[in-house]
């Protein structure tokens, strides 16, 4: 009989066997197999896997609770740089006990004062060149254990004896570099050997000195690339050796001349790689490293899975009419290529990447704004050394489907080139399938846009500005939480958000904010004006709530509480003290005016179909859409009151509840015209917001739903929502009794619609509904996940599987049978385990099959009416019931 583990998927801070943990009070989580849930659990931590008596350093004792997560280490302070083991056992509701799980490891990271290393840089510090640093190290014996702790100002790779320990990760990830930089921990045991060793670090621009944002402004955090590394080595005879970066290291020139995340790589393969060559003194451009002048940035441990290779894509190769070699990977994505290059020494190869082609079939290098193809950024240039080489860029990442290759002397075959998809190594948690392949393609497009933008930090697009726009992640966060295990990834984003929030509570519209305070120039100053925008800054409240709702993460509510309060308090103050232009011109609403938010910059609904960008920007500045802004203020205040409640802050909870009520009432007084039941500017999104944020009194909801439907019908079944409300449109319709209209919008095949994008060949979600102008020329980004938030509706309403309590402790299964579908299915890995909902309709009737994770309860809304409540396990229904 095979032995099946009863407790699986052990994680520490949601990571599998993390190395170099910065949090010394980590959280443990696991999954219980079978259908019977947990009623209590015990976690044990010790320095060895045996847990022999006396060696255990902590036990939680038997902790009563049904959640297989959220149990935190509370023993004696953990030492830094210490490998620990832990295991868990669970008591189930049926009185059985699982016994101890197999032990698993975690290791703490560096203590702040323990770095025996200094930040070092090269002699010509500000030159736009890659920095190669190296040292030689002689080891008198066999290495039994080695750890390397490293980071850089710029993206770096740690290379020991020619073995690259970092690739393909792009680290350190982007943080507010003026304050802190993440470091990585590596197991370097296998890379080191007795005798001579070469330890090297190569540093490129990265997000530290690379070109950032829409304006591609370089050096926003500093102009000196630098690195730091500390190695702890233990030899077989027990000897401990520590080395660190210092002025004994040397620098040299290397083949990567310059490499920018966005603008590509310049490589001269004729220059030998100094990290692979033995004698340092013979290296071209060799010099002594310099210690960086003192600075105040802290080193913190990384907390998130690194960027890695998640897939490889085959290519087709052709020649364009202009004679250019064109490679098509058949899928828009984020990453690099691996390509076989052949030619004479000194030959120059140029690789240009784009998401789209011109109407004439050439690579389009102007569609993202710049009319001058010479200024195209996604480009790698390689000078060959004479021998055939497989080239793959190291320190750049492109958003593309097509690659143009120039300068090859021979032919390129499809087998010579591959697309390498790079994304954060997140665990996929949500799968959707249904009878309509176009909707499956839509779901896949959303997944591709998420993969493409969940690299360094969640970005709007992987091409143009690649910025961490708050509004984009605000609308997409719940979709992301359904599709993948994004809890650490979004927690990290929120940590950066709080760190960069302005003293008055405003939130920069991009996080990280793309500039150190001492490097803020006029463009950054102008950009900062945007920090008051509702719908964007509300990420500070909506994201923590989303993580709580989908993962049961109470800790994040506590951690972000001050930040969330600062945002709401800022808007409340602004409403009370500043009167916007619009209000001065219109008739007021008396004493309630103090709750109307109509000053400051607000993007508003943003990018409604058919609205010109210039007009939207003008409105955002001069007519800041108080109906939208005040609705967000009411919504965030309401969420904040719930957050306060969860945190046990009773006084705050009451205060914010009262405030939310007042803002809601003022919003009703100012923007709802009772006669005719018109709201705001009478756009579709006005009704969606009103209903989704529950701003209307119950007796006005039906009229709002009716008007929303009327507007959609007047638009011949098309959506008219923009950036903010599209995600809420279909759930609002289906949860208010109009799933017929929701399906009509979903199945719509002419623009604006998701299916129109697919019919035009979209393999990702586009920034605009049309994607191309009438002449067929591409417009704006073709890889923006924001409008892809519709995938949440596929899971939560079409298949009908959604949380009814934080972390899916209670699940609501409420399928929406309809549309053109004959079956649909969502399979989710929730914090409690696998949940699924599958319905199928045919001549014999309707089937519903659900899977409920152990320890949870599902309330099932039966498609024929009525409710059933079921516990863990598989359940099925058939209508008409079989006798």
Q: Which residues bind ligand RAM (CB under 6 A)?
A: 460-461, 469, 471-472, 603, 606, 767, 784, 786
700 CB neighbour count, 10 Å cutoff: 17
**CB-wise, 303 or 456, nearer to ligand RAM?**
456
Distance between CA atoms of 216 and 212, rounded to whole angstroms? 5
Least CB distance to ligand RAM at residue 786 (A): 6
Least CB distance to ligand RAM at residue 613 (A): 9
Query: 308, exposed or middle or buried, with CB in 10 Å at 0-12, 13-18, 19+?
Result: middle
228: left (phi over 0), alpha (psi -120 to 50) or beta: beta
* Residue 580: HSE in the Cβ half-sphere, 13 Å Cα cutoff: 27
155 neighbors 183 (Cβ within 8 angstroms): no
**CB-wise, 469 or 561, nearer to ligand RAM?**
469
584 CB neighbour count, 10 Å cutoff: 9
**CB-wise, 207 or 638, nearer to ligand RAM?**
207
Least CB distance to ligand RAM at residue 535 (A): 9
**CB-wise, 85 or 606, nearer to ligand RAM?**
606
**CB-wise, 31 or 602, nearer to ligand RAM?**
602
Distance between CA atoms of 803 and 800, rounded to whole angstroms? 10
Instruction: Give the contacts of 332 (CB within 8 A, at least 6 positions apart).
Output: 355, 399, 400, 401, 448, 452, 762, 763, 764, 782, 783
Coil, strand or helix: which one is 404?
strand
405 neighbors 351 (Cβ within 8 angstroms): yes
Least CB distance to ligand RAM at residue 776 (A): 22
271 neighbors 384 (Cβ within 8 angstroms): no
The phi, psi pair for 709, rounded to 5°, reads -65, -40
Least CB distance to ligand RAM at residue 655 (A): 31
Q: Where are the beta strands (DSSP E) in 499-589?
A: none
**CB-wise, 391 or 603, nearer to ligand RAM?**
603
The phi, psi pair for 515, rounded to 5°, reads -170, 140
Least CB distance to ligand RAM at residue 466 (A): 10
Q: Return the closest-CA partner of residue 826 out of 303, 428, 521, 490.
A: 428
Tell me whether strands 104-108 and 19-21 are parallel, antiparallel or unpaired: parallel
Least CB distance to ligand RAM at residue 603 (A): 5
**CB-wise, 12 or 356, nearer to ligand RAM?**
356
Least CB distance to ligand RAM at residue 773 (A): 18
Query: 585, exposed or middle or buried, with CB in 10 Å at 0-12, 13-18, 19+?
Result: exposed
Distance between CA atoms of 182 and 116, rounded to whole angstroms? 17
**CB-wise, 166 or 459, nearer to ligand RAM?**
459
Name the helix (H) or strand (E) containing 84: strand 83-92
Least CB distance to ligand RAM at residue 161 (A): 43
Name the helix (H) or strand (E) containing 658: helix 650-671
**CB-wise, 459 or 560, nearer to ligand RAM?**
459
**CB-wise, 460 or 814, nearer to ligand RAM?**
460
**CB-wise, 415 or 613, nearer to ligand RAM?**
613
Least CB distance to ligand RAM at residue 616 (A): 9
**CB-wise, 152 or 509, nearer to ligand RAM?**
509
> CA distances (Å), 423 to each of 420, 427, 458, 482, 511, in order?
10, 11, 11, 17, 18
Least CB distance to ligand RAM at residue 723 (A): 7
Residue at token pair 């702040």: 112
CA dihedral 362, 368, 370, 374 (to 10 degrees): -40
**CB-wise, 335 or 458, nearer to ligand RAM?**
458
Least CB distance to ligand RAM at residue 601 (A): 11
Least CB distance to ligand RAM at residue 147 (A): 40
Least CB distance to ligand RAM at residue 523 (A): 14
Is the CA virtual torsion 830, 832, 834, 838 positive or negative? negative
Task: Please name every residue paired with 39 in a beta bridge, in sequence order, or none if there are none.
Answer: none
335 CB neighbour count, 10 Å cutoff: 29
Least CB distance to ligand RAM at residue 53 (A): 58
Tokens of residue 294, six digits: 């003192």
Least CB distance to ligand RAM at residue 765 (A): 11
Q: Return the closest-CA partner of residue 71 out of 11, 13, 23, 27.
A: 27
Name the helix (H) or strand (E) containing 792: helix 790-793
Instruction: Give the contacts of 681 (CB within 8 A, at least 6 positions apart).
Output: 625, 627
Least CB distance to ligand RAM at residue 512 (A): 15
Q: Return the closest-CA partner of residue 475 out of 382, 538, 568, 547.
A: 538
CA dihedral 365, 366, 370, 371 (to 10 degrees): 120
Least CB distance to ligand RAM at residue 605 (A): 11
370: left (phi over 0), alpha (psi -120 to 50) or beta: beta
Q: Return the closest-CA partner of residue 412 out of 345, 337, 354.
A: 337
Coil, strand or helix: which one is 472?
helix
Instruction: Give the contacts of 138 (CB within 8 A, at least 6 positions apart).
Output: 195, 196, 197
Coil, strand or helix: which one is 560?
helix
Coil, strand or helix: which one is 479?
helix
């Amino acid at each position: 009989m095979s032995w099946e583990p009863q407790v699986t998927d052990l994680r520490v801070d949601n990571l599998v066997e993390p190395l170099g943990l910065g949090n010394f009070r980590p959280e443990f989580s696991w999954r219980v197999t079978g259908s019977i849930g947990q009623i209590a659990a015990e976690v044990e931590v010790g320095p060895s896997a045996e847990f022999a008596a006396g060696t255990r350093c902590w036990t939680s004792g038997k902790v009563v609770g049904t959640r297989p997560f959220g149990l935190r280490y509370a023993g004696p302070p953990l030492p830094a740089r210490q490998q620990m083991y832990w295991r868990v056992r669970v008591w189930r509701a049926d009185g059985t006990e699982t016994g101890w799980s197999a032990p698993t490891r975690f290791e703490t990271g560096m203590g702040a004062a323990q770095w025996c290393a200094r930040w070092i840089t090269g002699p010509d510090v500000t030159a736009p060149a890659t920095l190669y640093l190296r040292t030689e190290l002689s080891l008198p014996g066999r290495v039994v254990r080695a750890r390397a702790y490293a980071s850089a100002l710029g993206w770096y790779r740690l290379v020991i004896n020619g073995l690259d320990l970092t690739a393909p990760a792009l680290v350190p990830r982007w943080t507010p570099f003026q304050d802190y930089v993440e470091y990585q921990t590596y197991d370097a045991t296998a890379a080191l050997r007795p005798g001579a060793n070469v330890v090297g670090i190569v540093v490129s621009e990265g997000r530290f000195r690379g070109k950032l944002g829409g304006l591609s402004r370089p050096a926003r955090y500093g102009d000196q690339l630098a690195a730091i590394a500390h190695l702890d080595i233990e030899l077989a005879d027990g000897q401990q050796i520590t080395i660190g970066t210092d002025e004994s290291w040397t620098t040299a020139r290397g083949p990567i001349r310059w490499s920018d995340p966005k603008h590509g790589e310049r490589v001269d393969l004729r220059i030998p790689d100094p990290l692979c060559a033995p004698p340092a003194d013979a290296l071209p451009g060799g010099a002594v490293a310099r210690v960086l002048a003192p600075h105040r940035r802290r080193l913190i441990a990384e907390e998130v899975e690194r960027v890695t290779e998640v897939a490889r894509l085959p290519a087709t190769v052709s020649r364009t009419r202009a004679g250019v070699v064109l490679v098509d990977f058949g899928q828009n994505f984020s990453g690099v290529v691996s390509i076989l290059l052949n030619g004479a020494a000194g030959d120059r190869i140029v690789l240009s990447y784009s998401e789209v082609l011109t109407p004439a079939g050439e690579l389009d290098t102007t569609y993202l704004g710049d009319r001058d193809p010479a200024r195209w950024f996604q480009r790698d240039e390689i000078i060959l050394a004479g021998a055939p080489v497989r080239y793959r860029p190291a320190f750049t990442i492109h958003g593309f489907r097509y690659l143009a290759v120039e300068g090859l002397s021979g032919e390129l075959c499809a087998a010579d080139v591959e697309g390498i998809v790079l994304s954060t190594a997140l665990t996929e948690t949500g799968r959707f399938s249904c009878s309509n392949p176009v909707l499956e393609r839509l779901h896949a497009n959303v997944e591709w846009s998420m993969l493409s933008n969940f690299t360094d930090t969640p970005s709007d697009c992987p091409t143009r500005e690649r910025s961490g726009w708050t509004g984009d992640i605000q609308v997409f966060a719940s979709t992301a939480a359904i599709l993948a295990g994004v809890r650490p990834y979004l927690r990290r984003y929120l940590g950066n958000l709080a760190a960069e929030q302005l003293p008055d509570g405003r939130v920069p519209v991009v996080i990280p904010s793309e500039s150190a305070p001492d490097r803020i120039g006029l463009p950054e100053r102008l950009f900062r004006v945007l920090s008051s925008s509702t719908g964007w800054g509300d990420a500070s409240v909506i994201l923590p709530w989303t993580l709580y709702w989908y993962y049961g993460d109470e800790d994040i509510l506590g951690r972000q509480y001050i930040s969330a309060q600062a945002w709401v308090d800022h808007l409340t103050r602004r409403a009370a003290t500043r009167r916007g232009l619009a209000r001065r011109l219109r008739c007021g609403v008396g004493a309630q005016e103090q709750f109307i938010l109509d000053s400051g910059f607000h993007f508003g609904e943003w990018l409604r179909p058919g609205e010109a960008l210039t007009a939207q920007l003008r409105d955002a500045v001069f007519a800041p859409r108080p109906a939208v802004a005040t609705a967000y203020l009411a919504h965030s205040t309401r969420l904040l009151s719930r957050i306060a409640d969860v945190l046990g802050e009773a006084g705050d909870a009451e205060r914010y509840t009262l405030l939310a009520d007042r803002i809601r009432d003022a919003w009703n007084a100012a923007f709802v015209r009772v006669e005719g039941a018109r709201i705001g500017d009478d756009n579709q999104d006005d009704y969606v917001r009103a209903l989704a944020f529950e701003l209307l009194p119950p007796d006005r909801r039906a009229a709002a739903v009716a008007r929303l439907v009327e507007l959609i019908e007047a638009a011949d079944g098309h959506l008219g929502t923009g950036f903010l409300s599209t995600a809420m449109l279909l759930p609002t319709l289906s949860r208010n009794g109009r799933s017929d209209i929701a399906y009509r919008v979903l199945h719509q095949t002419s623009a604006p619609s998701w299916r129109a994008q697919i019919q035009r060949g979209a393999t990702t979600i586009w920034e605009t509904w049309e994607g191309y102008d009438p002449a067929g020329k591409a417009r704006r980004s073709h890889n923006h996940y924001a409008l892809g938030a519709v995938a949440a509706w596929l899971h939560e309403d079409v298949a009908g599987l959604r949380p009814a309590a934080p972390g899916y402790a209670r699940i609501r299964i409420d399928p929406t049978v309809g549309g053109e579908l004959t079956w649909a299915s969502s399979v989710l890995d929730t914090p409690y385990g696998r949940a699924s909902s599958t319905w199928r309709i045919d001549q014999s009737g309707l089937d519903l099959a659900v899977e409920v994770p152990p320890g949870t309860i599902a309330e099932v809304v039966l498609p024929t009416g009525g409710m059933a409540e079921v516990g863990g396990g598989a359940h099925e229904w058939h209508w008409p019931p079989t006798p």
